[in-house]
Amino acid sequence: MFKFRQDFIRFAVQQKVLSFGEFQTKAGRLSPYFFNAGLFNDGASLRSLSQFYAQAILASETPFDMLFGPAYKGIPLVAGTAIALAEQGSNVPYCYNRKEAKDHGEGGTTVGAKLQGKVLIVDDVISAGTSVRESIDLIRSAGAEPCGVVIALDRMERGQGELSAAQEVQRNYNIPVMSIATLSDLLGYLHDEDDLVQNLYATQMYRDKYGVKND
């Protein structure tokens, strides 16, 4: 297990991005934890988050030529991750899309580097998979190749069937989905933290009920 995974969970708890209690998910389930990446909302936290993304990408050893961030949440993530990778000696181009095509100036539906080669998608989470599907369609329409998706936290939770949203993306598009941390990492963290261990049982029960069978 990579140390940065536990460090990221700790960081998310400290930033109150990861909180515990009783929260209703979009699927109507009552979850004992809630992850809101939108609360990484200042320069220092975005810098740290970007460094975690860079570590996860490099640790995966996935070959890629550039980064893509789906609007809107993916825009600061992809820019920050590109900076963090450059600081670690891997300077790669990046771009992101517009929600609406621009018909003046440079025009087009993307901003930044031209989509080409193997493109790694940077996003916060995968829920319904809509953002990933749109990103893949856009990348392929530009003649480039989507080569993977990297997200902050994989909830490892079943969707409508037996697979998680991340597993469905992997199956449907034959590309890897990487994450900085997973629900398994969260359970390991709770087990070792005396101040939070009371949340371990509820989180484990939730995984037993809704989690996917394989990591």
Question: Per-residue pLDDT tens for 171-193?
Answer: 999 999 999 999 999 999 999 99
Choose the catalytic residue: 3, 73, 102, 209: 102
User: Which residue, among 185, 193, 145, has the nearest Cα to 1 in the 3D structure?
Assistant: 185
Inside any domain, residue 215: no
Task: Check which CATH number belongs to the domain holding 16 and give it.
Answer: 3.40.50.2020
Domain that holds residue 129: 3-210
Of the listed 16, 104, 118, 191, which one is catalytic?
Answer: 104
Residue 210, preceding peptide bond in cis (omega within 30° of 0): no
Determine the pLDDT at residue 122. Answer: 97
Provide φ and ψ at 128, rounded to 5°: -85, -15
Burial class (CB in 10 A: 0-12, 13-18, 19+), 34: middle
Average pLDDT, whole number, for the chain? 92
pLDDT digits (tens, 9 = 90+) for 54-97: 999 999 999 999 999 999 999 999 999 999 999 999 999 999 99
19 within domain boundaries: yes
Sheet holding 94-102, edge to edge: 108-112, 94-102, 66-69, 118-122, 145-154, 177-182
99 is catalytic: no
pLDDT band at residue 146 under the 50/70/90 scheme: very high
Tell me if residue 104 is catalytic: yes
- pLDDT value, residue 160: 75
> What is the pLDDT at residue 130?
79
Q: Decide: 110 and 83 in contact? Cβ < 8 Å.
A: no
Per-residue tokens: 198: 């009371």
Question: Does 47 fall in a domain?
Answer: yes
Number of independent structural domains in the chain: 1
